[in-house]
């Protein structure tokens, strides 16, 4: 994709360049409170994947492989020659992992922030009927396709409480951007396509050569914090706990991809560690400076 068709933002004045790959369905505007804490130490690049925000919709399937090549186009279009730091959250971690493995010579270090694992299927192989009825891949595809058929007004009503939160937490400009982001039906069509290719993504990543010999930090959520959150959504505690134990195993596996890998547990944090425990991420990043 041409850089002119990508919605991106560059912030900060630090010598080191940090690229942030956001989670599925998430806007980089939601990362601004975190980014503002590290602007002196890093120059931060954030962008919206194709079909997100004001980024042009792509005709290509929304695979992590395709996303990695589009990200590389952005990096090259910005004229970046030095190796960069890459941080990916959730599904963005899977995208970041694929990017690093396709372009190992362009990355200094990788942070996987409670990242989706290429072995994610182990979560859905568990006998968790209530959990799977709510967050199975098929369910997420169906739900997002349903949202993609709604009007902006209908989405505004559906996400009214979230939008109110935007205006309380962010500046009016940023909140308006986030409101436009979450009420765009195209976003949900794109997200459904991203979910729909998770199986293929895993296969493609596993076909690649070994992980490059670079430092890797995996920051995982707190099991107890996530179990508590799941219970609030009426998921039985035994299901939530079994799911979380396997999620932790997958995080441990990710950390072993590199012989310079480390696992950090974000105590008292659920999935959005950059919101719940930004201090832990910042402490990890500062070790690199």
pLDDT, one tens digit for every residue, the chain (289 residues): 566 789 999 999 999 999 999 999 999 999 999 999 999 999 999 999 999 999 999 999 999 999 999 999 999 999 999 999 999 999 999 999 999 999 999 999 999 999 999 999 999 999 999 999 998 999 999 999 999 999 999 999 999 999 999 999 999 999 999 999 999 999 999 999 999 999 999 999 999 988 998 999 999 999 999 999 999 999 999 999 999 999 999 999 999 999 999 999 999 999 999 999 999 999 999 988 8
For residue 14, the model assigns a pLDDT of 93
Residue 61 lies in a domain: yes
Residue 214 lies in a domain: yes
Residue 250 lies in a domain: yes
Helix extents (H) in the chain: 32-35, 64-77, 91-102, 121-124, 129-135, 137-148, 152-158, 160-169, 172-182, 185-196, 198-207, 223-232, 237-255, 273-276, 278-286
Q: At what angle do helices 64-77 and 91-102 cross, to 10 degrees?
A: 70
Q: Pairing between strand 8-12 and 42-47?
A: antiparallel
Structure-token pair, residue 84:
């960069």
Residue 13, C-beta contacts closer than 8 angstroms, at least 6 positions apart:
39, 40, 43
Residue 205, C-beta contacts closer than 8 angstroms, at least 6 positions apart:
64, 94, 97, 98, 101, 118
**CATH code of the domain covering residue 44:** 3.40.50.1820
What are the backbone dihedrals phi and psi of residue 82, each rounded to the nearest 5 degrees, phi first?
-80, 160
Each residue of 67-107: pLDDT tens digit?
999 999 999 999 999 999 999 999 999 999 999 999 999 99
Residue 73 lies in a domain: yes
Structure-token pair, residue 286:
């500062």
For residue 2, the model assigns a pLDDT of 64
Based on the structure, what is the number of domains in the chain?
1
Residue 228 lies in a domain: yes
Task: Determine the Cα–Cα distance for residues 35 and 46; give it in Å rounded to an integer.
Answer: 10
Q: Residue 25: give the domain boundaries.
A: 3-119+199-286
Residue 15 lies in a domain: yes
Q: Among candidates 136, 75, 67, which has minimal Cα distance to 105? A: 75
Residue 16 lies in a domain: yes
Residue 75 lies in a domain: yes
The pairs formed by 1-5 with CB atoms below 8 angstroms and a separation of 24 or more are 1/50, 1/55, 1/56, 1/58, 1/70, 1/73, 1/74, 2/73, 2/77, 3/73, 3/74, 3/77, 3/78, 5/55, 5/56
Task: Determine the Cα–Cα distance for residues 160 and 218; give it in Å rounded to an integer.
Answer: 34
C-alpha dihedral sign at 99, 101, 103, 109: positive
What are the backbone dihedrals phi and psi of residue 283, each rounded to the nearest 5 degrees, phi first?
-60, -40
Task: Determine the Cα–Cα distance for residues 230 and 240; give it in Å rounded to an integer.
Answer: 6
Task: Determine the Cα–Cα distance for residues 166 and 175; give it in Å rounded to an integer.
Answer: 5
For residue 288, the model assigns a pLDDT of 84
Task: Determine the Cα–Cα distance for residues 224 and 264; give it in Å rounded to an integer.
Answer: 15
């Amino acid at each position: 994709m041409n850089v002119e068709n990508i919605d991106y933002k560059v912030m900060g004045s630090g010598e080191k360049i940090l690229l942030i790959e956001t989670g599925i369905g998430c806007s980089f505007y939601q990362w601004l409170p975190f980014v503002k804490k590290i602007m002196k130490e890093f120059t931060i690049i954030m962008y919206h994947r194709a079909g997100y925000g004001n980024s042009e919709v792509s005709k290509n399937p929304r695979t992590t492989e395709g996303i990695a090549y589009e990200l590389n186009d952005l990096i090259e279009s910005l004229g970046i020659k030095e190796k960069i730091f890459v941080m990916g959250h959730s599904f963005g971690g899977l995208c970041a992992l694929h990017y690093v493995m396709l372009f190992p010579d362009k990355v200094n270090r990788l942070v996987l922030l409670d990242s989706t694992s290429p072995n994610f299927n182990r979560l859905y192989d568990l006998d968790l009927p209530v959990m799977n009825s709510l967050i199975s891949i098929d369910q997420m595809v169906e739900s997002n396709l349903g949202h993609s058929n709604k009007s902006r007004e209908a989405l505004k009503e559906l996400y009214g409480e979230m939008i109110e939160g935007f205006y309380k937490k962010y500046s009016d400009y940023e909140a308006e951007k986030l409101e436009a982001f979450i009420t765009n039906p195209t976003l949900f069509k794109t997200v459904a396509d991203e979910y729909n290719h998770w199986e293929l993504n895993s296969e493609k990543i596993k076909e690649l050569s070994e992980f490059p010999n670079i430092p890797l930090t995996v920051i995982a959520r707190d099991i107890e914090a996530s179990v508590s959150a799941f219970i609030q959504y009426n998921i039985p505690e035994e299901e939530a706990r079994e799911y979380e134990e396997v999620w932790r195993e997958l995080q441990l596996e990710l950390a072993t991809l590199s012989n310079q890998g480390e696992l950090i547990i974000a105590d008292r944090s659920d999935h959005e560690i950059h919101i719940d425990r930004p201090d832990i991420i910042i402490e990890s990043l500062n070790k690199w400076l």
